[in-house]
Homo-oligomer: A and B are copies of this chain.
Amino acid sequence: MSDREAVTHTIGELSREFGCTPRALRYYEALELLSPSRRGKHRVYSYRDRARLRLILRGKRLRLRLEEIRQILELYEPGRTRPQDEVTLDKYREQLVALEAQRQDVDDAITELVSACDVIERRLRTPT
């Protein structure tokens, strides 16, 4: 067993390292995204759990839903094969379409807000 595999973490350590709350880690466990072992009642996170958490948070940055992240994690369990890569690629491309729509949305909102601000500013400048 290499050193790397022997390293374990508490829930506090991991949440501090990745900037999330312990509650979030427990929630990921409830959704079966993580399954740390126990020492008594306390959770013990292995090197592999830590790697999975990194992937989970990456998925969140990509704005995937936890359920989608769970499916992707499942795919990468035994060893990568082409069909698994293709499934992941499909999910990513779908998400890309969704994100581009979202960007358009936000851009529209910004445009609308800027002109709304203009209207009010103009009104404030007109004498009473």
For A63, list chain B residues within 8 Å (CB). Answer: 106, 109
CA distance in complex: A100, B103 (Å)? 11
CA distance in complex: A103, B63 (Å)? 13
**Interface size class, chain A:** 20 to 34
User: Given that A86-B124, A108-B61 are contacting pairs, would A117 and B103 also be in contact in the complex, using a CB cutoff of 8 Å?
Assistant: no
The interface residues of chain A, by DSSP majority, are classed as helix
Contact status B106-A92, CB under 8 Å: no
A residues adjacent to B (C-beta < 8 A) = 58, 61-63, 80, 82, 85-86, 88-89, 92-93, 95-96, 99-100, 102-103, 106-110, 112-114, 116-117, 120-121, 123-124, 128
